[in-house]
């Protein structure tokens, strides 16, 4: 897409720049240059429009490249964070080197909260790059906050997320506000799905 915008802009600029020379080369020897002068004035107005379109194409190309670079950088940071989290979760001793929980919890619960936080981070990344609309994000969050651990995690770590998101852009602000809204809606709707309901349940016969 970026290459297409760039080629379009350069092509139009080349067309505008070369047209007078092409016309001069093709004109017969007895050409009425006064009449051509009048035509060239009309052409000048058209060339301004074409030049403007070409510049817009180049600008769109540059904007697209900037957005792609930003997305790539964010994904690289996200991958690095995920690698560190995987390492910490694989070894309880290493997890103690992670940021301590906002309030005392068992080691197992701290691991569960970390997984829940990573799940929220994944939703944030997908929303930032446009893979999730606000409506789809709301549906995802409604499912997220059905669980007991997800609600605990946000109750404990929500203030830190809000402070972090305040330093971000508009999409970060929308994200954390929507997380708060869906959390409040989930707690108002009824009790969470307890952890015990996920485990030690015999298969139906």
Pair 145, 154: CB distance under 8 Å: yes
CA dist 55 and 84 (Å) reads 44
The pLDDT score that the predictor gives to residue 49 is 66
Tokens of 203: 């298969």
* Measured distance CA(154)–CA(146) in Å, rounded: 12
For residue 173, the tally of other CB atoms under 10 A from its CB is 13
Q: What is the pLDDT of residues 37-79, one digit of tens each?
A: 655 665 666 666 666 776 777 777 777 777 777 777 777 777 7
Total-model pTM: 0.62
Distance from C-alpha of 117 to C-alpha of 196, rounded to nearest angstrom? 20
Helix (H, G, I), strand (E, B) or coil at 28: coil
- In the chain, which residues have pLDDT < 50? 204-205
The residue to which tokens 């936080």 are assigned: 117
Residue 204 is predicted with a pLDDT of: 45
Which pLDDT score, from 0 to 100, does residue 205 have? 42
């Amino acid at each position: 897409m970026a290459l297409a915008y760039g080629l379009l802009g350069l092509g139009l600029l080349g067309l505008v720049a070369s047209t007078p020379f092409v016309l001069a080369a093709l004109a017969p020897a007895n050409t009425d240059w006064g009449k051509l002068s009048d035509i060239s004035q009309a052409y000048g107005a058209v060339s301004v429009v074409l030049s403007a379109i070409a510049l817009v194409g180049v600008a769109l190309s540059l904007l697209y490249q900037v957005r792609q670079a930003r997305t790539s950088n964010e994904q690289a940071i996200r991958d690095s964070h995920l690698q560190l989290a995987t390492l910490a979760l694989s070894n309880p001793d290493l997890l103690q080197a992670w940021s301590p929980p906002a309030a005392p919890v068992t080691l197992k619960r701290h691991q569960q909260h970390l997984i829940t936080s990573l799940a929220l981070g994944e939703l944030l990344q997908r929303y930032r790059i446009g893979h999730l609309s606000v409506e789809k994000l709301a549906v995802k969050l409604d499912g997220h906050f059905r669980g007991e651990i997800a609600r605990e995690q946000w109750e404990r770590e929500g203030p830190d997320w809000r402070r972090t998101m305040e330093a971000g852009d508009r999409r970060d602000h929308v994200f954390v506000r929507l997380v708060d809204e869906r959390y409040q809606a989930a707690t108002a709707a009824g009790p969470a799905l307890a952890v015990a309901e996920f485990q030690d349940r015999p298969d139906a016969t």
